[in-house]
Structure 1
Amino acid sequence: MEPEALDADRNRLGECPVWCDRTQRLWWVDVLEPALWSHDPQERQCTRHPVVARRIGSLALRERGGLVLACDNGLFAYDPDTAGQAFLLDPEPGKRQHRKNDGRVDSAGNFWVGTLRESDYAPVGAIYRVTPELRVTMEEQDLAIPNSLAFDPERGRIFYADTRAYTIWVRDYDPVTGRAGRKRVFATTQAPARPDGSCVDAEGHLWNAEYAGGRLVRYAPSGTVSRVVDLPVSHPTCCCFGGNHLDRLYVTSASEPLSAEQQLSEPLAGRVLVLDAGVRGRPEFRTGL
């Protein structure tokens, strides 16, 4: 499981890796730069794509092609070939101190996205569900840093976390009707490790990146820990499966919280890591937005 690092610039806050099975390309964002990145494993090339935004919290694959970017001022359709950027809507308009954070698409094509107040990370953030018809529903509120959005369609469940609360929750969820059950605690972490971004593998296990914990934790559907993968970075942020057989695990990370001295001791901080996890993932769902 010795990870390798992609040949891209060190990110301040790398986040939301997403594998496109159509183009066989990895996408991710640097939230704070802000920057949109892609990686072509065949060409062994990383590319930075121009984006107009103050912050990019997450991205999603579009069913009709291209991407949806969750920027500080709304959701935008993005064409990677032309860098064309078209406003779709803002699920939380009028809150200038807020920005978008983690986002994920469910099996019905709805895009779930969290928001947070960047100035103080007070528990005033929320999670919204945006349908392909641009209908917006607030699904959760009073969160400091919403994260870990992931879906287990076989068991009909959605996962999400509040990074500041050290807690991952799970809810029963029907993507067709949009109905979600009451949340219940799925897992908790111990300081300084905080639950950040997640993905679900083909066996229904949740992989979570522990921010400030320096590791990935794989949880069984029951919530028990089934595997721990230590990483050469202290602040991993999110993960996804990719590659021709969805057997490569990509992990984004952050360098921003580290001092200059700490960055010297962590030369891979802020880089995207890739490793063989020994299990396969599942294709990313696409939004109808």
Structure 2
Amino acid sequence: MNAVAATMGIERIGNMRCGVGESPVWHGGERALYWTDIPNRTLWRWDPSSGQSSSWQLPEMAGCMAMAADGGWLLAMESGLFRSTAFVPGMVAPLLRRVAKVTHAREGMRFNDGRCDRQGRFWAGTMVMDMSRAADDGQLYRYDFSDGVTPVLSSLITPNGLAFSPDGRTMYLSDSHPTRQLVWAFNYDIDTGTPSNQRVFVDMTALPGRPDGAAVDAEGCYWICGNDAGQIHRFTPAGKLDRSIAVPVAKPAMCAFGGEKLDTLYVTSIRTSDAEDPMSGAVFALQPGVQGLPEPMLKD
């Protein structure tokens, strides 16, 4: 296992600092990175060729998002799932329409981590925002155009780490709450979009950090942010820790592969104390030495 120093080959992009930076998505067609700042109800776009950033205010907190084949986006927000037109730099506000309403188990809930499977179905989990309650009212939902939104898994506290193997036949899901700190693997039926055979893939209670957002590389290895430990961990498909990379913030939130060759790992983070963690909330780019996979698009 190789540990990489916190400053080695890691670049901060832009000067923005998010409250909770989440759901980084590389848009290959635009050659740009998108992500959401959940508590500030803001969506960000960064163009690495020009170094320019753009942002848009949202009417609700967006926990995650996915590209759509028509050039728009699907956003999982507080009250449900919303389709948007493309986010064009210079546009004052995106055009949003709700395509699926979600009735939460209690007040004070929102969507958190999510993404599309390899077939273009969208998956996203919900959570109680007050994590001190340790309330397991969260659910994992599946959305597709024909069936709408369907709850599939329940009893989650803080669902995170959703990802799919390169062949799409394994689904990963974590629960990052301090009382759980587990990553599960599931067999995944690519024809029906049904997970089964839930099993512990990684128990992170003995490892640095809580399991947060994740990505899968072209070799099938699973990269996950170690929240509170300032590390990104890579696990083999067998669940073996392969390496850990230190980042210059305590709370990395989610990672995603991007760049023209998909060989850059982008990492968002959560803002904490300015005095203790002055770059917290920033977004970083590093070269991990492996390539990622194109992010699947929503299929209508």
What's the TM-score bracket when you normalise by the shorter of the two chains?
A: over 0.9
- 1:210 equivalenced with 2:226 (yes/no): yes
Q: What does residue 186 of structure 1 align with?
A: 201
- 1:51 equivalenced with 2:63 (yes/no): no
- RMSD of aligned residue pairs (Cα, Å): 1.6
Looking at structure 1, the residues matched to 102 and 219 of structure 2 have their Cα atoms a distance apart, in angstroms, of 33
Equivalent position amino acid for 1:114 in 2: G
Question: Following superposition of structure 1 onto structure 2, how do residues 51-200 of structure 1 map, counting pairs within 5 Å?
Answer: 51-53=58-60, 55-79=61-85, 80-81=87-88, 82=91, 83-92=94-103, 95-119=106-130, 120-154=133-167, 156-164=169-177, 165-190=180-205, 193-200=209-216
- 1:4 equivalenced with 2:19 (yes/no): no
Q: Output the TM-score relative to the length of structure 2.
A: 0.90
| 8 A contact 2:118–2:168 mirrored in 1 | no
Question: Following superposition of structure 1 onto structure 2, how do residues 242-281 of structure 1 map, counting pairs within 5 Å?
Answer: 242-255=258-271, 258-259=272-273, 263-281=274-292
Equivalent position amino acid for 2:62 in 1: I
Looking at structure 2, the residues matched to 28 and 166 of structure 1 have their Cα atoms a distance apart, in angstroms, of 24
Q: What does residue 223 of structure 1 align with?
A: 239
Q: Secondary structure at the match of 2:205?
A: coil
Q: Secondary structure at the match of 1:265?
A: coil
| Residue ranges of structure 2 left out of the alignment (5+ in a row) | 1-7
Residues 29-80 of structure 1 show CA distances to partners (whole Å, capped at 9, x for unaligned) of 0111111001111111111112211x11111111111111111111111121
Query: Which region of structure 1 is more displaced relative to structure 2, 224-233 or 1-10?
Result: 1-10
> CA 1:187–1:57 in structure 2 vs 1: closer, same or farther (change >3 Å)?
same
Looking at structure 1, the residues matched to 119 and 285 of structure 2 have their Cα atoms a distance apart, in angstroms, of 29
Residues 140-194 of structure 1 show CA distances to partners (whole Å, capped at 9, x for unaligned) of 1101100000001426100001111110000010222223222000002137721
Q: Secondary structure at the match of 1:190?
A: helix
Residues 249-285 of structure 1 show CA distances to partners (whole Å, capped at 9, x for unaligned) of 0000001xx33xxx22322210000000100000000
Q: Output the TM-score relative to the length of structure 1.
A: 0.93
Q: Secondary structure at the match of 1:133?
A: coil
Q: What does residue 232 of structure 1 align with?
A: 248
Identical pairs, percent:
35
| 8 A contact 2:182–2:205 mirrored in 1 | no
How many residues align structurally? 283
Q: Secondary structure at the match of 2:63?
A: strand
Equivalent position amino acid for 1:180 in 2: P
| Residue ranges of structure 1 left out of the alignment (5+ in a row) | none
Looking at structure 2, the residues matched to 140 and 123 of structure 1 have their Cα atoms a distance apart, in angstroms, of 11
Q: Secondary structure at the match of 1:181?
A: strand
Looking at structure 2, the residues matched to 205 and 56 of structure 1 have their Cα atoms a distance apart, in angstroms, of 27
